[in-house]
Amino acid sequence: MNTRQTDGDPLSGPAAVDGRASRWQSHREERRRELIKSARRAVHALGSDASMEDIATAAGTSKSVFYRYFGDKAGLQQAVGEVVLSQMQRRIREAAQSAKTPREGLFAMVSAYLQMAETSPNVYTFVTRYSAGDPDGGPTAIATAGALGHFFDSIADMIARPMRAHLGEGKEAVIGYWPNAAIGLVRNAGEQWLASPDSPAKPDQETMARQITAWLCVGIAPELNDVQ
């Protein structure tokens, strides 16, 4: 009697095992995406200091589920950060592509950055904040170091490209330092603006983006450029 199993037998054999493993992996990935979305909504509503228990309750599940998928709060910050920062990076790239001059490109990128951050300041703070420790447990030296570093490296490169073409040859020394300095200015000024309470003195998003762009292009006091 022929007892040879047919390849791909749905009841047994390596193909069946691989199929189950693949389906389980797909299920885990989908569940992880759902938890990230839920965490993002919870942080948006509850604030950047929301605990794992608060986030889990808002997501309609238990804290242990989040620990199972992300390890600790730092792991959740990293996961949410990768999604949010990727979206910000894509939006900033799209904004820059429509610009006709380097200055227009800078304004478009700064404006897109501020718009994305202003859309949900709580989520922005949650994914960009450095943490010295997490009361929910687990070491959290720098919560989103990988995603955050990659994000700002990519934005620095986007800023540098048009400026290299604009300034021409012989300016590599300037361009080598300027993008990272520019990122620092944009981020620090933007975050101070986000944290400032609403008042008549607070500039709107477009005015702030134009002001930051002017600082990047001509400095804080252009008239001083002629002073020896």
Total domains in the fold of the chain = 1
Q: Which domain covers residue 87, as residue numbers?
A: 73-220
On whether residue 47 sits in a domain, the answer given is: no
142 in any annotated domain:
yes
pLDDT of residue 199: 94
Q: Is residue 104 part of a domain?
A: yes
Average pLDDT per 10 consecutive residues for the chain, totaling 228 residues: 49 60 79 95 95 95 94 90 89 86 89 93 85 42 58 82 71 74 91 93 95 88 55
Distance of CA 207 to the CA centre of its chain: 23
- Predicted model pTM: 0.75
Residue 110 lies in a domain: yes
Long-range pairs for 63-70: beta carbons < 8 A, 24 or more residues apart: 63/136, 65/35, 66/35, 66/39, 69/28, 69/31, 69/32, 69/35, 70/35
Residue 83 lies in a domain: yes
- Does 185 reside within a domain? yes
Domain of residue 216, CATH code: 1.10.357.10
Report the candidate in 159, 62, 47, 144 with the shortest Cα–Cα distance to residue 103: 159
- Displacement of CA 146 from its chain's centroid (Å): 10
Task: Tell me whether residue 21 is in a domain.
Answer: no
Query: Which one-letter amino acid corresponds to residue 37?
Result: K
| Contact in structure between 175 and 151 (CB atoms under 8 Å) | no
Q: Could you tell me if residue 91 is inside a domain?
A: yes
pLDDT value at residue 43: 96
